[in-house]
Amino acid sequence: MHRRLTIPVIGVVVLASQLAGTAEPVQAATTPRVVIAHIDSGINPYHAVFRDRSRLAYTHPSKYIPGYPKDAEALRLTLDAPSFEAAWRKDARIWQGLLKKWDTPDGSAALTGKVFWIPGTRIIAATRFSPGGTWCPAAQDDVTPPPAVVHDCPDYPILDDFGHGTMTASRMAGRGTSLCPDCRIVSIEGLGDVQVKWAADQGWIDVQTNSWGNLVPHPAWWAVDTFADQGFAENLEEAAKQHLAYFASGNGAAFALGWTTWPTQMGSTLVPNAIWVGAHDNGKVAHWSGAPPHLVADGYRGLTAGNRAVKGVEGNAFACCTSAASPYAASVGAATVLEARRLLGDGRIGVRGGIVARGRPRGIRSGPLADGKLTLNELRDIVKHTAQARPTEGKHDGGAHWASEPGAPVLLPYGPGDNAFCEGCWTLPVSWTAVPEDAPAYALIGYGAANEFSLRTAFGVLRGARVPDRSEVDEFFENEAVVRELVQHPVRP
């Protein structure tokens, strides 16, 4: 594992098609696109929400993405199998070969950070830096590794053997499960600041999302980071300055069970230029321990691709809370980038010198695109200021609380209002829309919800509509920054 102890932010868990060889790039210089990455436990590339049957999906990404590694290898998988088990039987040699290589010192060194792409999908890059965890039966079948109980079993590189990564990938860029179904996907397996920095340094990744946190809170982590000269927070902050970076705000002490709430001021991954994401529950008032976040999104557990499925959506113990909210909020940011590039006719990818999109603002006479460019700072302001101040139920929302029949084991009793995946978190039977507008909701939900309604507002701003006045929330976070600095850096050496 990575040298720093990290864990996914999960509420209740203490945790083909052959390549068309002569395919031409599709208008590489003019077609607007966006690339989004998650840093997690891998991905299930067989699931239909990631499929793409266009010519582009069979074209080596270096043909249309400047800076993309030309030596990236294609994983030619069986994407037309009727089940995950059938696909596994045909492709087992591929996955076992990667695992065998990883299990040797020279092989793991060669595989670490090596980029693969998967023809027939929107997964243009998949790589591993450290294992992503497993969720396997006690007596594993040699052919098919279905999920059952936690057990020591093989953790195949790239492939999501845990479930959390496929959930976050589907929430950030799944077709029918996200707000950026046209995003090109990067899957980075293994948690840590090195991975965060790698994603930002590539130059061809526009947005990244992270649903994990450090087990050590500030100010203790500040002491470790500072006096051991490790630079954890510095790496995260530098990455957040290079492109749009989202982090889940957390579900409790050590992000496990929510027994003790950690405010965002104590989260070592929640650096100033990152966007911190909390959760609401189907438009109802919900308390989550990572507060105040900048944004919230629904923490629905039931609309996610399964890591042992090829179609459909399902709920599991990992599809919950801020882990599910962060990638969904990131899909809003990515869709905003894509729309800006469409409006400006910008076919380039990546943030270049702080510029997210550049081109001719045809018919746009006011707003952030009137000067022919969208900066990263403007983008951050847009996704924050257009958030829905009082979250409402959206098309991808659903109950995450006790009434939604959780699929996770009950470790402790919970009653009406308690969240089955986050002991100590609660949902009230009160809609946010019923909360008076003059009530300071930003203390719990920041600027508000990232959803299809906020995305519609963001699109309007890109076309020249007035940016919503969120000065009250701006002032709140300016004051919060003072508190955060005192907590995170109590003594300057």
> What's residue 137's pLDDT?
58
Q: Are strands 275-280 and 244-248 parallel, antiparallel or unpaired?
A: parallel
What region, left, alpha or beta, does residue 54 occupy, with left being phi > 0 and alpha being psi -120 to 50 degrees?
A: beta
Can you tell me whether residue 482 is helix, strand or coil?
helix
Residue 270: pLDDT above 60? yes
* Count of Cβ atoms closer than 10 Å to residue 29 Cβ: 10
CB 449 within 8 Å of CB 328: no
How much of the chain, in percent, has pLDDT values that exceed 70? 81
Closest CA to 260 of 444, 488, 424: 424
Tokens of 301: 């557990």
From the CA atom positions of the chain, what is the Rg in Å?
A: 21
State the average pLDDT over residues 357-378: 95
> What's residue 121's pLDDT?
98
State the average pLDDT over residues 293-318: 83
Domain boundaries, the chain: 1-493
| Mean pLDDT estimate for the chain | 84
Half-sphere exposure of 229 (CA within 13 A, CB side): 0
Closest CA to 442 of 269, 278, 323, 271: 278
* Total residue length of the chain: 493
Closest CA to 32 of 342, 356, 333, 343: 342
How much of the chain, in percent, has pLDDT values that exceed 90? 60
Helices (H) and strands (E) in the chain, counts: 11, 16
Q: Which residues pair with 51 in a beta bridge?
A: 121
Model pTM above 0.85: yes
| Range with lowest mean pLDDT among 224-228, 336-340, 448-452 | 224-228
CB 334 within 8 Å of CB 183: yes
Which residues, 6 or more positions from 491, have their beta carbon under 8 angstroms from its beta carbon? none
Residue 325: pLDDT above 70? yes
pLDDT tens digits, 98-109: 999 999 999 999
Angle 424-429-432 from CA coordinates, rounded to 5° = 95
pLDDT interval class at 404 (50, 70, 90): low
Q: Which one of 219-233, 355-369, 399-413 scores highest in mean pLDDT?
A: 355-369
Alpha helices by DSSP H, 120-163: none
Closest CA to 269 of 451, 4, 1, 3: 4
Residue 125: pLDDT above 80? yes
> What's residue 224's pLDDT?
84
CB 376 within 8 Å of CB 244: yes
- The span from the CA of 63 to the CA of 27, in Å, is 10
Class of domain 1-493 as given by CATH: alpha beta
Closest CA to 333 of 482, 158, 171, 198: 171
pLDDT interval class at 382 (50, 70, 90): very high
Give strand ranges (E) for 268-354. 275-280, 284-287, 295-298
Can you tell me whether residue 371 is helix, strand or coil?
coil
pLDDT tens digits, 132-188: 988 765 444 444 444 433 445 789 999 999 889 999 999 999 999 999 999 999 999
- The span from the CA of 230 to the CA of 309, in Å, is 40
Closest CA to 360 of 352, 351, 369, 368: 369
State the average pLDDT over residues 23-38: 73
Mutual orientation of helices 452-462 and 321-344 as an angle, nearest 10°? 30
- The span from the CA of 333 to the CA of 342, in Å, is 14
> What's residue 1's pLDDT?
34
Residue 273: pLDDT above 50? yes
> What's residue 255's pLDDT?
44
pLDDT interval class at 246 (50, 70, 90): very high
H or E element, residue 86: helix 84-102
| Range with lowest mean pLDDT among 23-37, 170-184, 346-360 | 23-37
> What's residue 291's pLDDT?
83
State the average pLDDT over residues 340-367: 95
CB 61 within 8 Å of CB 69: no
> What's residue 409's pLDDT?
43
Residue 278: pLDDT above 80? yes
> What's residue 417's pLDDT?
54
